[in-house]
Amino acid sequence: MFKNQKKKIIAQKATPESFKKYGFVIKTNNIVQETDKSVTANQGTAIKQEHLGVISNNFIADQESSLNIHIFNCKTRELSNNDKSFHCKIMEKHPFSSQVFIPKTNKYVENCYLVIVSLEEETDENGEHVVEAFMFDSDSSVVYKAGIWHSPMCNVQPSKEVISFIVLINE
């Protein structure tokens, strides 16, 4: 899988539509205005945005698993000086669970972290696996569907500050 693929990939902006075959993009600061179609909660004191994503648990019945909460404090990744590219050397996947990364930064950062993904079965005309790259802002969380190949999290924010991600995964 991914042997010696040297293709340079231009990252695209992550949106729920552009990312949907790999998982979900959940923007966490778009405080919606109340409309007649809003779903309210908490005795009308909250507007609920429903079903923005799913955390699937594909462990078989006799495999004990739990939905665990971790924090990944991600340091920034080295980017090449000339074209600010990132050399992805590792891809991983979680066959039995979605994985959610919810970033916490001190302020809004555009193009904050890089997500590199691939479907197990998608190859191009040369038989190479199709790999796509997505740029996420700091107000967006990423949900990887179970079985999606992805690079370990890439914090690429210019300030080089660590980003703490709350991570949810069944394991």
Q: Which spans of this chain sit near ligand UGC (rule: CB under 6 A)?
A: 92, 99, 150, 152-153
Residue 120 CA to its chain's centroid (Å): 17
- Minimum CB separation from ligand UGC for residue 154, in Å? 8
State which residue has the least CB distance to ligand UGC. Answer: 153
Task: Spell 84-119 as b/e; 16+ CB within 10 A means b.
Answer: eebebeebebbebbbbbbbbebeeebeebbbbbbbb
- Minimum CB separation from ligand UGC for residue 131, in Å? 15
Do the Cβ atoms of 162 and 75 come closer than 8 Å?
A: yes
- Minimum CB separation from ligand UGC for residue 152, in Å? 4
Phi, psi of 74 (to 5 degrees): -95, 120
Phi, psi of 150 (to 5 degrees): -150, 155
Residue among 131 and 153 whose Cβ is closer to ligand UGC: 153
Do the Cβ atoms of 22 and 119 come closer than 8 Å?
A: yes
Residue among 99 and 170 whose Cβ is closer to ligand UGC: 99
Residue among 98 and 99 whose Cβ is closer to ligand UGC: 99
- Minimum CB separation from ligand UGC for residue 40, in Å? 35
Terminal-residue alpha carbon distance, the chain: 24
User: What are the C-alpha distances in Å from 73 to residues 144, 154, 163?
Assistant: 18, 11, 6
- Minimum CB separation from ligand UGC for residue 25, in Å? 15
Residue among 13 and 93 whose Cβ is closer to ligand UGC: 93
Residue among 109 and 143 whose Cβ is closer to ligand UGC: 143
